[in-house]
Amino acid sequence: MKEQKKQDATCEEELNAIRDSLEVLGGKWKLRIMRHLNNHINETNTFKKIQRDVDGISAKMLSKELQDLEINLLVSRTVLNTKPVTVRYDITTYGQSVFPVTESLVNWGLNHRRKIKQRG
Amino acid sequence: MKEQKKQDATCEEELNAIRDSLEVLGGKWKLRIMRHLNNHINETNTFKKIQRDVDGISAKMLSKELQDLEINLLVSRTVLNTKPVTVRYDITTYGQSVFPVTESLVNWGLNHRRKIKQRG
DNA sequence: GTTATCGGTTAACTACAGGTAACTAGTAAC
DNA sequence: GTTACTAGTTACCTGTAGTTAACCGATAAC
């Protein structure tokens, strides 16, 4: 019974950790934005440029998602001294640490699709 | 430009694969159910027993989630010849393949929580 | 016949993610 | 003064994930 409780406790902690991860990786846009920033890392990714490049995203969602990503230290925001003012967004080194995690999701997802297509 | 298109194409495939994975790992209950089945693999996990053990889940959600998991070959369903009828659910060997993936989510989430607490 | 168990289903509701469109403020070109 | 560009914000709407509670048919104990 004690072992049971301990197991459930770590289980709960692990589920919390997964919830934390999915807060970043989940949702429709966060990973798309991060991948785009990572694929265009040497460019000046302004708000408008990202909005043009990330297909279908609205200004509202882009604004909200970039704020979330910045709060989580995954993306940095730099106001540039231009006229009109432009803002540059960059993926952080820490932000790049999500990609090994997404890779395991990609691999499992690809394999799962094959598995299901074979109907088992 | 061609390289760009190719890159975006694989990017889209990978995002689809992630979406597929998150269809299984996401949501409030699927992972809890799978972990419970895995932690009690030698027991007869009937519908009611799972509902009692997985804290807070309703019959409706449990029924729906178990159906989803069965369709995805992650859980097997066996009707037992008892009176009244009981149904036994087991995690499949294939179902156990999600745990390495969740482990990387757990590790990233735990590290992220530490990182954010330090305020960066 | 009443109560209890099993494995669910159904209907009505709520909360939140995300979409759409209009709008803001500041600056510059015409 | 009008138009256009920047980076957003605001209000309204919709679709879906999840909750709650009542209900179903089958079987058995009392």
B35 contacts chain A (CB < 8 A): yes
pLDDT digit string, tens, across residues B68-111? 999 999 999 999 999 899 999 999 999 999 999 999 999 999 99
Q: Does residue B1 have a pLDDT over 60?
A: no
Q: Are A108 and B23 in contact (CB under 8 A)?
A: no
pLDDT of amino acid B4: 54
A41 contacts chain B (CB < 8 A): no
Decide if A16 and B112 are in contact by the 8 Å CB cutoff.
no
Cα-to-chain-centroid distance, residue B71: 12
H or E stretch covering A77:
strand A75-80
Burial (0-12, 13-18, 19+ Cβ within 10 Å), A34: buried
Whether CB of A120 is under 7 Å from strand C: the answer is no
Q: Which of residues 77-96 of B touch A (CB under 8 A)?
A: 94
Residue (of A63, A78, A117, A72) closest to A98 by Cα position: A72
What is the value of pTM for the model shown?
Answer: 0.92
| Proportion of chain A above pLDDT 90, given as a percent | 84
Enter the tokens of residue B10. 């694989």
Cα-to-chain-centroid distance, residue A106: 13
Q: Are B92 and B75 in contact (CB under 8 A)?
A: yes
pLDDT digit string, tens, across residues B21-78? 999 999 999 999 999 999 999 999 999 999 999 999 999 999 999 999 999 999 999 9
H or E stretch covering B80:
strand B75-80
pLDDT digit string, tens, across residues A17-72? 999 999 999 999 999 999 999 999 999 999 999 999 999 999 999 999 999 999 99
Q: Does residue A2 have a pLDDT over 80?
A: no
